[in-house]
Structure 1
Amino acid sequence: MTGVIVCADVGSTYTKAAAVDADTGALAGTASHPTTLGTDVMDGLRAAVANALPKGATVVDTLVCSSAGGGLRLAVIGNEPLVTARAAYRAGLSAGARVVDVRAGTLGPADLAALAAVRPDVILLAGGTDGGDETVLRAHAAALASASERDGLTTPVVLAGNANAAADVTAILEAAGVPVTAVGNVLPRIGTLDPVPARTALRDVFLRHVIAGKHLSASADFTRMVKAATPDAVLTGVELLAERTGDLLVVDVGGATTDVYSVLTPDAELQGPRAEVAGTAWRARTVEGDLGVRHTAVGIAEAAGEEDLPTDPDLPEAARRRGADPALRAGTDRERAFDRELSALAARIAVRRHARGERIGGPTEPLRGGKDLAAVAAVVGSGGILRRDPGAAEWLREAVGGDTSGGVRPPKDARFTVDTDYRLAPAGLLAAAGRRDLASRLLAGI
């Protein structure tokens, strides 16, 4: 047996491991094990890896992504809700972060107290286009520095605002003891979104500060092996898969959230004068924290009611049981049917929200950043329930492709499939580690 590269995802509920042939990119084995947050996550990781390895295999490298312990909790600060704050919000999602707070405008003591209360792991500080107004960005830096000195708020900051003010803003924060990483502007010009520098910096901060700070393992090996937040690794895999499929939509239905990823061809009509001021994210991720099939299953039933979607009369009770016992296993046909219905509803509603755009700055703000999904060539489903259900591709087609009443344009002639072997995250880890050829071969199995 040739050497294998172990690619593992340590989630809040399960740890999944894949053994990839280091020469051919073939999938040599997979396994999962409950994540051992109660002891040391390395216990569950070792168990999953041991079960995934083929007999006689030699491990030549181990790459890990993680969302255990809540993943990367990000707060966003920008000049205005509809421009730089929105651009930074989109950049944060592309980095695999869970955006827990968005602030814009004047930051007073109450704002800073609210910011501290949500316990962000990192703050993404944006503001102004390059060469534009520097006043608000400087004021935000001074407010964070004051909070550091007064309240001990020393959350690491990724600075991705007006390049002309970057040196001074960095100096203000560093003088107050705030760790800061300065990168290129997320919105260098009106209508131009550039999330890549911020995404790269957030990944580095996640590895340096967050993984070590969550104390998930007593072993230094875990910190060394973790290369990315799980959603960041998945998006990298999605981007690589889109090079083969064309426009792509991925729906990942999980126990706590449903994430939607899209890679779309830029629309020439939305450039120039018609461009959105905060830029358009043609490679995007949205996270629906109320649409998980276990921890937040009640949210699915409630959202279905808000969307006027028909459901089984007993679905709310089934959702309540799952929220009360996230470890519930569907042991009967009836329970499996509830899992299927909850998953299909989560997929449909999450894709609707992804296509409609996001509302930043409060419930009265307009939706921005909507997407036309009609030309999507492939839709890939992911998540434990989908992987275990042989008919998942068909009910996913009905839930997403057959959704004609949601006020959005769903995929019209797409191929629907399921990532049954959980290849996307391992492929993203491989690609980020400079092994794009192996990652591409691995994705050929989807």
Structure 2
Amino acid sequence: MDAYLLIDFGSTYTKLTAIDIKKEEILATSKDITTIEEDIMIGFNKAYNKLLKDLEGKEVNFVRRLACSSAAGGLKMIAIGLVPELTAEAAKRAALGAGARVLKTYSYELTNIEMKEIKKSDIDIILLAGGTDGGNKECVIHNAKMLVKHGINIPVVVAGNKGANDDISELFSDADIPYFIAENVMPKLNSLNVEPAREEIRKIFMNRIVDAKGLTNAEEYINGILMPTPAAVLKAARVLSEGSDKEEGIGEVVVIDIGGATTDVHSIADGDPTKAGVTLRGLEEPLAKRTVEGDLGMRYSALSLWEAAGTRKIKKYLKNKELDVEENCTLRSKDIMMVPKTEDEVDFDESMARIATEIAMERHCGYVEPVYSPLGVVYTQYGKDLMEVKYMIGTGGVLVHSKDAGNILQAGKFSKENLNSLRPQRAKLLLDKTYILSSMGLLAEELPDLAVRIMKKYLVEIDYKEDKEDKEDKENDYIDEKKIELFKQQFKDAQSFDNHCSGEF
């Protein structure tokens, strides 16, 4: 039978998925430790032998072998822009959407101190932006000169004011700095255009970074390393949400990927206000958005998760309140390969996962702020409104191995504890039980219809067990809604209702 072999050279594990392209089935999956320090093919071969064992008795012909990678720390970048909230933020979003880890964002004119910091950074690419088209070009040219002055010799994607491109091209050509010109990430004020920069980053990843990451041996065996792993997950989420030429999508989705070092959130949604009377402010949000929380991880970042959440917040989710939070987080940060065995260890891991989900979703989603005016309360929205998203999809080891993955994902939903956060309210919960999202992103590059059908088939819908507090919250919500309806019946329209409320308080 003809099959695709889809490979994810992850930072911890190398994961393989074999797909029967005619029967549209997963034939087998396997994984083993990624061996980037030695030869990446050692870990691959171990995983491949496990896969062949599962395929015994089947005549499989791998017609295509496609791969993605986040090995050796993945694709590491810095983003440089003009104003922190505008072009610098736009550059950061472009880099994140390309599957990169953005180590730092710089704004305004770079200083010598900042350049020394950049030069010491272990980065693969620089994204240089700044200024809208026809706007300020002095800043981006200054920053290009600083890169030349300090002898930067890594690829630079230039995606700023197009009026500066000729000067920057001359500067970088004379200095032999490898550079690539893309369209401005913000051609007009508050208007994003991140796809061209993302595509250039992806090309550099495929053509140059593969050698630097020690993946050359793998390239001899496979048809190509197409993209960083996070970009593959984002691609899978997008094609599942929007559909393909022949397959309907499932609608707006959020993907939560909880890892040892980071918690990534991907959303495919326009994010416009879902409630009447809300004004949208701030930088335009991309349809396909990715955020990476480097301080929210299950192993490498366990201590920073504790610092971000605090002891009381982690204990809120623990069954055994006597567990020492600092001690347990320290243990996990020192033993990154730790597998929970006891009931307390599982309990602590799942509590960490719920905290990671809660905080990562709060940071990813938008929020509303009430503004008091003579006409009553006016609400302003910043970021994406994801309250009406249809599905939340969980992936990552802690979710896959959990007996209660639904409760972990539930922590990322809307909560009365933070009424201003626009997190999903009624989303159905799906689980990537077979680690297929990254592989489906690869498959979608060549066979998008098939990728959509397989994801619909293999993503498992899950429930969550309501605890007493959840049930009380739902009952209170119902009572609150009834009260509001009774109030509204006393007034002719919503505006008079709002005016009455503002007068009352």
TM over 0.5: yes
Partner residue of 2:387 out of 374, 384, 404 = 374
Residue 241 of structure 2 aligns with an amino acid whose one-letter code is A
- Cross-structure match for 1:416: 429
Distance (whole Å) between structure 1 residues aligned to residue 408 and residue 102 of structure 2: 30
Distance (whole Å) between structure 2 residues aligned to residue 19 and residue 93 of structure 1: 28
- Could you report, residue by residue, the CA deviation over 1:263-286 in whole angstroms, capped at 9, with x for unpaired residues? 11352799xxx6656422232111
Query: How far apart are 1:24 and its partner, in Å?
Result: 4.1
- Cross-structure match for 1:166: 165
On the 8 A contact 1:190/1:277 being kept in 2, the answer is no
- Cross-structure match for 1:132: 135
Distance (whole Å) between structure 2 residues aligned to residue 104 and residue 293 of structure 1: 31
On the 8 A contact 1:130/1:189 being kept in 2, the answer is yes
- Cross-structure match for 2:341: 331
Say whether 1:60 aligns with 2:63.
yes
- Could you report, residue by residue, the CA deviation over 1:66-88 in whole angstroms, capped at 9, with x for unpaired residues? 11101111111111212111110
- Cross-structure match for 2:231: 232
SS in 1 for 2:417: coil
Percent sequence identity is 35
Query: How far apart are 1:383 and its partner, in Å?
Result: 0.4
Residue 37 of structure 1 aligns with an amino acid whose one-letter code is I
- Cross-structure match for 2:12: 13
Query: Which is worse superposed, 376-385 or 296-305?
Result: 296-305
On the 8 A contact 2:69/2:227 being kept in 1, the answer is yes
Distance (whole Å) between structure 1 residues aligned to residue 356 and residue 313 of structure 2: 14
On the 8 A contact 2:366/2:386 being kept in 1, the answer is no
On the 8 A contact 1:191/1:280 being kept in 2, the answer is no
- Cross-structure match for 1:44: 43
Distance (whole Å) between structure 1 residues aligned to residue 219 and residue 241 of structure 2: 35
On the 8 A contact 2:66/2:222 being kept in 1, the answer is no
- Cross-structure match for 2:90: 87
Partner residue of 2:144 out of 115, 137, 141 = 141
- Could you report, residue by residue, the CA deviation over 1:165-193 in whole angstroms, capped at 9, with x for unpaired residues? 22331221121110001111111111211
Say whether 1:74 aligns with 2:83.
no
- Cross-structure match for 1:104: 107
SS in 1 for 2:68: strand
Query: Which is worse superposed, 208-217 or 340-349?
Result: 208-217
- Cross-structure match for 1:386: 399
SS in 1 for 2:127: strand
- Cross-structure match for 1:353: 363
- Cross-structure match for 1:210: 209
Rate the CA distance shift 1:199–1:24 in 2: closer, same or farther, 3 A: farther
Partner residue of 2:263 out of 258, 261, 271 = 258
Residue 284 of structure 1 aligns with an amino acid whose one-letter code is K
Distance (whole Å) between structure 1 residues aligned to residue 385 and residue 238 of structure 2: 18
- Cross-structure match for 1:317: 327
Q: Once superposed, what is the RMSD of the aligned Cα atoms?
A: 2.3
Q: Which blocks of at least 5 consecutive residues in structure 1 are unaligned?
A: 358-367
Distance (whole Å) between structure 2 residues aligned to residue 219 and residue 281 of structure 1: 33
- Cross-structure match for 1:361: none
Residue 248 of structure 1 aligns with an amino acid whose one-letter code is V
On the 8 A contact 1:42/1:217 being kept in 2, the answer is no
On the 8 A contact 1:260/1:286 being kept in 2, the answer is yes
Distance (whole Å) between structure 2 residues aligned to residue 174 and residue 426 of structure 1: 38
On the 8 A contact 1:40/1:217 being kept in 2, the answer is no
Say whether 1:429 aligns with 2:442.
yes
TM-score by length of 1: 0.90
Residue 409 of structure 1 aligns with an amino acid whose one-letter code is L
Distance (whole Å) between structure 2 residues aligned to residue 29 and residue 181 of structure 1: 40
SS in 1 for 2:365: helix
SS in 2 for 1:422: coil
On the 8 A contact 2:86/2:190 being kept in 1, the answer is no
Residue 146 of structure 1 aligns with an amino acid whose one-letter code is K
- Cross-structure match for 1:287: 292
Which consecutive segments of 4 or more residues in structure 1 shift more than 3 A?
A: 216-220, 274-278, 306-309
- Cross-structure match for 1:362: none
On the 8 A contact 2:282/2:383 being kept in 1, the answer is no
Residue 355 of structure 1 aligns with an amino acid whose one-letter code is C
SS in 2 for 1:102: strand
Distance (whole Å) between structure 2 residues aligned to residue 20 and residue 170 of structure 1: 45
Residue 392 of structure 1 aligns with an amino acid whose one-letter code is A
TM-score by length of 2: 0.80
- Cross-structure match for 1:396: 409
On the 8 A contact 1:258/1:287 being kept in 2, the answer is yes
- What is the aligned length? 427
Residue 373 of structure 1 aligns with an amino acid whose one-letter code is L
Q: Which blocks of at least 5 consecutive residues in structure 2 are unaligned?
A: 243-248, 368-380, 460-505
Larger Rg: 2
Rate the CA distance shift 1:108–1:401 in 2: closer, same or farther, 3 A: closer
Say whether 1:298 aligns with 2:310.
no
Query: How far apart are 1:47 and its partner, in Å?
Result: 2.3
Q: With CA pairs under 8 Å and 6+ residues apart, which has the higher RCO, 1 or 2?
A: 1
On the 8 A contact 2:387/2:423 being kept in 1, the answer is yes
